[in-house]
Amino acid sequence: MFAIVGVLLVFAAVVGGFLMEKGHIQVLLQPAELVILGGAALGTLLTANPPHILKGIVEGLTGVLRGAKFGKARYLVTLRMMYQFLNKVRKEGLLSVEADVERPQESSIFKSYPDFLSDHHACDFVCDTLRMAITGGVEPFDMDQMMELDMEVHYHDATQPVSALSTVADALPGLGIVAAVLGVVITMGALGGPPEEIGHKVAAALVGTFLGILMCYGVVGPLAANMSKSADEHNSYLHVLRVLLLAFLKGSAPMIAIEMGRRAIPAHVRPTFDEMERSCKNQSAEAAA
């Protein structure tokens, strides 16, 4: 939501300042320049990236426009879910959750948390780790290494669309110059004509450069930066899951493991201990009832 507001504010400030100086908005409406700039940018994006990265860009931009997913409420729900899950393991043993791990969509615990199930990587991250624990024979240190490797691979995949979009942003000023040069070529062919016509063609050429710079620094570049922050937020979420799973696998009680996970939550969205305890205990009371 804030991304949409930010983009609108950029255009409002630029266009508003232009109008304050008695500029004519019609001069900025140059469909040919938009076709050149937009088409060239899209072409470079398609040329430089395979389909899975293009899909990642679309998903990343959609996520940016929807707003942040990892707030305090999301972390509280996750801690509550893991507390419920780890309590079941402590009382009934690891084999009791084998069906939950193998088929999380049918799990009596996980299906109560649709946000977690919809996050396929986080769900796989937890289930794959617990599957190895159920199998046995894997030391906690090795489990930690596997989780770290999984996080590194996922983070690399998540940042590839960011790099691709940043590359397009860097190219936009240059593509704007291409549009401007083409406008100058057209202008040179019109020399000797009415001054109004020449002035219009020069203005159209300059609009190409203007749009390239504006889209680079005012729209595409900031969106890529926001996507990068979203990837960091998801990586932080996985880190919390990693910390609490490792603590439990080392023998800590569920509440201690959950508290260690809480301490790993970024400070600006970290719930207090009392908030976490109330959330977990309420869920435990509901399950008992």
Instruction: Give residue for tokens 């009371």.
Output: 285
pLDDT surpasses 60 at 284: no
Residue 283 confidence (pLDDT):
58
Give the whole-angstrom CA distance, residue 37 versus residue 35: 6
- Residue 212 neighbours by CB distance under 10 Å: 25
**Phi/psi zone of residue 68: left (φ > 0), alpha (ψ -120 to 50 degrees), beta?**
beta
Give the whole-angstrom CA distance, residue 200 versus residue 233: 48
- Residue 35 neighbours by CB distance under 10 Å: 11
- Residue 250 neighbours by CB distance under 10 Å: 14
Closest by Cα among 141, 106, 142 to 127? 106
Q: Give start and end residues of each alpha helix (H) in the chain.
A: 2-20, 25-28, 31-48, 51-66, 72-92, 98-102, 114-118, 120-135, 140-189, 195-214, 221-249, 254-263, 273-288
How much of the chain, in percent, has pLDDT values that exceed 70?
A: 97
Residue 236 confidence (pLDDT):
95
Q: Exposed, middle or buried: residue 146 (CB in 10 Å: 0-12, 13-18, 19+)?
A: middle
Give the whole-angstrom CA distance, residue 172 versus residue 163: 14
**Token code pair at residue 151:** 């996080």
Q: Where are the domains of the chain?
A: 28-288
Q: What is the pLDDT of residues 210-264, one digit of tens each?
A: 999 999 999 999 999 999 999 999 999 999 999 999 999 999 999 999 999 999 9
Give the whole-angstrom CA distance, residue 266 versus residue 263: 8
Q: What is the pLDDT of residues 89-100, one digit of tens each?
A: 999 888 888 999
End-to-end CA gap in the chain? 39
Give the whole-angstrom CA distance, residue 268 versus residue 75: 12
Q: What is the pLDDT of residues 127-163, one digit of tens each?
A: 999 999 888 878 989 999 999 999 999 999 999 999 9
Residue 195 confidence (pLDDT):
74
Q: Is pLDDT larger for residue 152 or for residue 197?
A: 152
pLDDT surpasses 80 at 125: yes
Give the whole-angstrom CA distance, residue 98 versus residue 87: 14
pLDDT surpasses 70 at 198: yes
pTM: 0.87
**Distance set, CA 213 to CA 2, 42, 108, 177 (Å):** 22, 16, 53, 9
Give the whole-angstrom CA distance, residue 61 versus residue 55: 10
The answer to whether 131 touches 150, Cβ cutoff 8 Å, is no
Give the whole-angstrom CA distance, residue 5 versus residue 39: 25
Residue 185 confidence (pLDDT):
84
At CA 107, angle to CA 249 and CA 66, rounded to 5? Answer: 90
